[in-house]
Structure 1
Amino acid sequence: MSLPISKLRFSLSYSISKFSPFLSNPSSFSSFHLHYHSQPPSPDHDNVHDVVSQFRRMFHMRPVPPIYEFGQILGSLTRMKHYSTTISLFKQMELKGIQSNFVILNIVINCFCHLHQMTFAFSVFAKILKLGYHPNVITLSTLMKGLCLNSEVKKALTFHDKVVAQGFRLNEVSYGILINGLCKVGKTGAAIKLLRIIESGLCKSNVVMYSTIIDSLFKDNHEKEAYDMVNKMISNNIMPHVYIYNIMIDALCKEGKIKEAKNVLTVMVKACVKPDIVTFSTLMDGNFLVNQVQSAKHIFNAMTQIGVTSDVYSYSIMINGLCKSKRVDEAMNLFQKMHKRNMIPDAVTYTTLIDGFCKSGRIADVWDLIDEMHDRNQQLNLITYNCLIHALCKNCHLDQAFELFKTMMEKGILPNMYIWNTLIDGMCRGGRLEEAQETFQDLLIKGYPLDVHSYTIMINGLCKKGLIDEAFTLWSKMEDNGCLPDAITFEIMITTLFGRDENDKAETFLREMIFRGLLT
């Protein structure tokens, strides 16, 4: 997709009618109103319920409260991300004959943008123009952000060209939105080009614009360009803030360059930028990545000394790192410290610890954690079930695994292929091959995305039972379905055939494996 970044136009030749491609039929806006009016808001917090009730009581007050009070409530609901509720109340307000003002119409535009209903957002924009209001930078920036949220960055840039041609002035926030939109759709080069245009006189560039581009460059593995951008930023007297330092530290940690990451931390402190919880959590995670457990523990203990309070996220990183380093008892001690500090672990913390116990073969310790999760109203998620079912199957507790699988399904959590593969593998290893075949065939008929791992598990189960003909048949079916065997699949077949003294067939598979480039 070509983007009109090189065609940013500033002529005044556009008339207001040029907005028409973006404006929907006003009747469509009405139909959306009716849709939301027929579905009353469903607030999920008592606080929201109270706010909605207060708003509706205002309809019956005499005199009717000033319009700005309605706007304050709609604004608070929007900040709580109850966009549909806001639109429903807005419609009820208009049906009562209470005329919206410019601020409320901007709020409604924002709601439609977050709901990815850009047609209706531009309908409200048309209404603003019709009522004679002069759109301000907030109105225009909100619409551009909505288009970017919908990955319609090209439309956002074209809209920018049109409003500038009409004589509207945009600000740093507006251009930051466009830069972010470009980076989000993988057009970092275009974002850099836009930054150059901005710095040529449109408005002042700022740290947000640079941080967005720097983050995108690191994610695209363009490290040199990212560091060049940091230097350019500093040369423009824009000093990096903690977010930019965190981006650099994170990129270095992911590459295992812990020494360099610590150097960035030193530079950061010398520049009088205070590291935050994200900085330390990233460094801890990086140290665990290269198995420097003691360094991670030192960072965790040291950050409180400089006034950074550990949170659930940082504890979860520590617990995860300790579990992966097979220090489950230390992880459990840290988990208990969370309780002593009255910190409430989240589902990630519990799942991490459960996974650690499962991989250590300590399944008996898991059930207390699950009971605690229920007591704290923390729901088991798909990842938690993955860990548990895998551990039960691995330890030959198939009946318990199926019982847990049944519970998961009853709670409306749909299994992924990892769980299906785990169960099939467990059945094969647990002497329940026929059940495994039935399950596999059922998944095949229902169109589940069986991958090479799924087929390999089943082929391995058949080979272990000496059912080589059935394994050949499944191999053929696998290739017919467009799923190509990998090195492990070949090795299973070759080992089985050599074990049966079917050397010619084994060598045929071996030659095919070499031909496909699976043996180096």
Structure 2
Amino acid sequence: CESGDIDGAERVYKEIVESKVSPDAVVYNAMLNGYFRVAKIKDCFELWEMMGSEGNRSVSSFNIMMRGLFDNGKVDEVISIWELMKKSGFVEDSITYGILVHGFCKNGYIDKSLHVLEMAEQKGGVLDAFAYSAMINGLCKEANLDRAVSVLNGMIKSGCKPNAHVYNTLINGLVGASKFEDAIRVFREMGTMHCSPNIITYNTLINGLCKNEMFGEAYNLVKELLDKGLNPGVITYSMLMKGLCLDHKVEKALQLWNQVTSKGFKPDVQMHNVLIHGLCSVGKMQLALSLYFDMNRWKCAPNLVSHNTLMEGFYKDGDIRNALVIWARILRNGLEPDIISYNITLKGLCSCNRISDAILFLHDAVTKKIVLTKIT
């Protein structure tokens, strides 16, 4: 059943029945699980009825039925099974409550999930972190963040220690609603609960801060993260460096670059292009060129964006010779200039009053059937 070989399980089950040995609850539960794994819902119900007639149902059986039905989106049937469970004199355990909380949330029944959570807490039932995480995630999706924070507090009060996944779920919800002060507060509270933030925690906060142009705060978090020996990854680094450059903090972006590369992190093409663009934007062309030539050291071949960015920087700096050298390198490296390459070159040459040269490049673009734009 665990491996999904329900046909093999059925053969063994028939052999048990034919040998006049009565299957016990363990066998029935294994078969129930197996049927749900391969979505044989009709077989599940037939077996369920048989279990009822033979008195082989247990709390575990009810839990398996409800989990399987939730997984198949059959919420009404779950409610019926739950009602039958109570009528039959069975008492919900922590697993039952966890299944109900998670299942109702997963299927969009947040109010029902909250009702189960409150019921479990009133009865002294111990829910696990997985159930609380599902509840908090469901509330965050509905932007009911105050209630999500309340659920976290209730979780702590009930004696269930939140893990990083629970905190990450709430922090992600707060960040998504741009409640950064609350997100940072919850983040700092993790330490008091002896729960260390992980890479997901940091990435969630850093990416959210960058998207909201809070680059200074994001930069401080990256430094904190690096001091702990964690690595946020290329996407986060690129986003932060781009943000710092847009915020005219190119020196900080450069510091971050030096800090992460000194720790052995290998930047990719995107990271190089972000910093090259930032350096070009403030006229630091020699640094940008040095970074471009350094790409081979990282076994990271410059792409067309790298060349276009440098070329545009040189033209803005009035350095036609080096701009044309970069054009030559595009061709030498086997890259095909695109309309952006041509537009940069045409604009650059025209700005330097090299109209005849610009016309030659325009003819070249037309010959190569490059689709011209309004900018061209």
In structure 1, distance between residues paired with 2:63 and 2:71: 12
Give the aligned partner of residue 125 of structure 1. 48
Deviation per residue, 1:11-66 (Å, 9 max, x gap): xxxxxxxxxxxxxxxxxxxxxxxxxxxxxxxxxxxxxxxxxxxxxxxxxxxxxxxx
Give the aligned partner of residue 30 of structure 2. 107
Alignment of 1:90-239 (within 5 A): 90-94=9-13, 102-129=25-52, 132=54, 134-201=56-123, 203-205=125-127, 207-239=129-161
8 Å contact kept, 1:246–1:278: yes
Q: 1:315 aligns with which of 228, 233, 246?
A: 233
Secondary structure at 2:92 match in 1 = coil
8 Å contact kept, 2:339–2:371: no
Alignment of 1:120-519 (within 5 A): 120-129=43-52, 132=54, 134-201=56-123, 203-205=125-127, 207-293=129-215, 295-303=217-225, 305-306=227-228, 309-310=230-231, 314-322=232-240, 325=243, 330=257, 337=264, 365-366=302-303, 395=340, 430-431=370-371
C-alpha change, 1:266 and 1:140, in structure 2 (3 Å) is same
In structure 1, distance between residues paired with 2:108 and 2:269: 33
Tell which deviates more after alignment, 277-286 or 225-234. Answer: 225-234
In structure 1, distance between residues paired with 2:233 and 2:160: 34
Q: CA deviation at 1:117?
A: 3.0
8 Å contact kept, 1:324–1:356: yes
In structure 2, distance between residues paired with 1:393 and 1:366: 12
8 Å contact kept, 2:95–2:127: no
Which residues of structure 2 form unaligned runs of 5+? 246-252, 279-291, 293-299, 305-335, 343-368
Q: Which amino acid aligns with 1:219?
A: K
Give the aligned partner of residue 89 of structure 1. 8
8 Å contact kept, 2:51–2:57: yes
Give the aligned partner of residue 455 of structure 1. none
In structure 2, distance between residues paired with 1:173 and 1:119: 24
Secondary structure at 1:365 match in 2 = coil
Taking structure 2 as the reference length, what is the TM-score of the superposition? 0.59
- CA RMSD in angstroms, aligned pairs only: 4.5
Give the aligned partner of residue 249 of structure 2. none
Q: CA deviation at 1:87?
A: 1.4
Deviation per residue, 1:99-120 (Å, 9 max, x gap): 7664344233223324333222
C-alpha change, 1:287 and 1:394, in structure 2 (3 Å) is farther
8 Å contact kept, 1:172–1:204: yes
The aligned length equals: 285
In structure 2, distance between residues paired with 1:355 and 1:180: 43
Q: CA deviation at 1:244?
A: 3.1
C-alpha change, 1:193 and 1:366, in structure 2 (3 Å) is same
Q: CA deviation at 1:315?
A: 1.3
C-alpha change, 1:92 and 1:366, in structure 2 (3 Å) is farther
Give the aligned partner of residue 487 of structure 1. none
In structure 2, distance between residues paired with 1:152 and 1:365: 53
In structure 2, distance between residues paired with 1:353 and 1:309: 18
Deviation per residue, 1:452-485 (Å, 9 max, x gap): xxxxxxxxx9xx8xxxxxxxxxxxxxxxxxxxxx
Q: CA deviation at 1:203?
A: 3.7
Which residues of structure 1 form unaligned runs of 5+? 1-73, 340-348, 368-390, 398-428, 433-460, 465-520
In structure 2, distance between residues paired with 1:324 and 1:153: 46
Q: CA deviation at 1:283?
A: 2.0
Q: Between the two proteins, what is the percent identity of the paired residues?
A: 19
Q: CA deviation at 1:95?
A: 6.5
Q: CA deviation at 1:330?
A: 4.8
